Structure 1
Amino acid sequence: MEIKKQKINTKVLVKVGILSAISFLLMIAEFPLWFAPGFLKMDLSEIPALLGAFALGPVAGILIEFMKNVLFIAIRGSNSMMVGEIANFMVGSIFVYISGIVYVKNKSRKNAIIGMILGTIAMTVFMSIANYYVMIPFYAKLYGMNLDSIVSMGTALNSNITDFKSLIAYSIVPFNLFKGAVVTLITVLLYKRVSPILHK
């Protein structure tokens, strides 16, 4: 019985490791969006974490988020004194944990979608608050910039952005909602295909 349990745990760790590596590769393959300032980059690294959360449980999803960021810092380094990576871990964990916990209560396609919608809303709220009070002010201080110069980056893309609050409303909020929607759609399309492999 103990040997069987150990084999199961080993299989789960191997799957988490593989998904973490894929998540890391997706994290470094970031790209800009047409409506977002240059400091906001889109990546799809939450997809493997969501797949892990659905197949292996919400805690596995958080572990994948953690390992992804550890790999990123170890291999690519951090240009934000790790604040960006910590924020990425926190927001990713919120997204995958809420999605996973809703799904495991009743494993259905509908519940998976509901979970990811709730996860998207939660991460959008979190990132809006975090960027307003911590992230963007920290970046501005780190690079010797004032907030007005950062706001102007948003204004160049959207004339509705006139101050720091509108930068959050018209840039951070739609960015996270868009990311959540894209990640949700791709995960829904992928999960049934990869689920048999993850459950082996």
Structure 2
Amino acid sequence: MKPRVMTKTQKRTRYIAVTAMLSAIATVLMYIEIVVPFMPSFIKLDLSDLPSLIGSFAMGPVYGVVIAAVKNLLHLFFTSSGGVGELSNFLLNAAFVLPAGLIYRFRKSKKGAIAGALTGAVVMAALSVPINYFIVYPFYTAFMPMDAIIKMYQVINPAIQDGDLLQCLVTFNMPFTFLKAILSVVVTFLIYKPLSPLIHGTNRG
């Protein structure tokens, strides 16, 4: 049998439902954090960017950004960061999925998806430095002196200079953010093909 063709209204309704589902999954994933060796203890790994990347590829970059926004709005109810952590997460998540989705939108092929995902990963990693430097870490200094924060980096890498937050971010946070994005990319490529018909409602039956 041929795949069922949906009307524009049905497609929009389905995308809204899928966006809600992916946003809920992303919110749950934010709470599943993994301590990463050779990183300061306050930096943890999660895969909450994964659903928005899937959404960006499947439905378009706008949906990916919406999923990132909804995820962080829901997380606000349980945050202890005063919204700063959520703002940072949203900006980085959007920086990841927006270029990924835009490139894939105009190059709908495996190569296009890879190019988009890698571009998004690079943009996300690069922006992690100014976002952490100007937004996140100034907020954290209300609870912990900057010298104490930098000392946590120096325990791992004694070559870090006293008072040099920028060196900490470039040495640790930027490559960590890139690898975190790449992990989401790998998982997305592993599960996207079987998920795509479910998202688009094109199961053959």
TM value normalised by structure 2: 0.90
Counterpart of 2:156, as a letter, is L
Give the corresponding residue for 1:105.
106
Give the corresponding residue for 2:58.
55
Question: Is the helix fraction higher in 1 or 2?
Answer: 1
Give the corresponding residue for 1:117.
118
Give the corresponding residue for 2:145.
146
Kept in 2: contact 1:160–1:166 (CA 8 A): no
Q: Distance in 1 between matches of 2:149 and 2:157?
A: 13
Kept in 1: contact 2:33–2:46 (CA 8 A): yes
Q: Mean Cα displacement is larger for which, 48-57 or 154-163?
A: 154-163
Give the corresponding residue for 2:172.
171
Give the alignment's Cα RMSD to 1 decimal. 1.5
TM value normalised by structure 1: 0.92
Kept in 1: contact 2:52–2:67 (CA 8 A): yes
Q: Distance in 2 between matches of 1:113 and 1:135?
A: 30
Q: How does 1:1-200 map to 2 (within 5 A)?
A: 4-74=7-77, 77-141=78-142, 143=143, 145-162=144-161, 163-200=164-201
Secondary structure at the residue paired with 1:35? coil
Q: Distance in 1 between matches of 2:74 and 2:135?
A: 24
Q: Which structure 1 segments of 5+ residues have no match? A: none
Structure with the larger RCO, 1 or 2 (CA within 8 Å, 6+ apart): 2
How many residue pairs end up in the alignment? 194
Kindly, what percent of the aligned residue pairs are identical? 36
Q: Distance in 2 between matches of 1:67 and 1:19?
A: 10
Q: Mean Cα displacement is larger for which, 27-36 or 154-163?
A: 154-163
Counterpart of 1:134, as a letter, is I
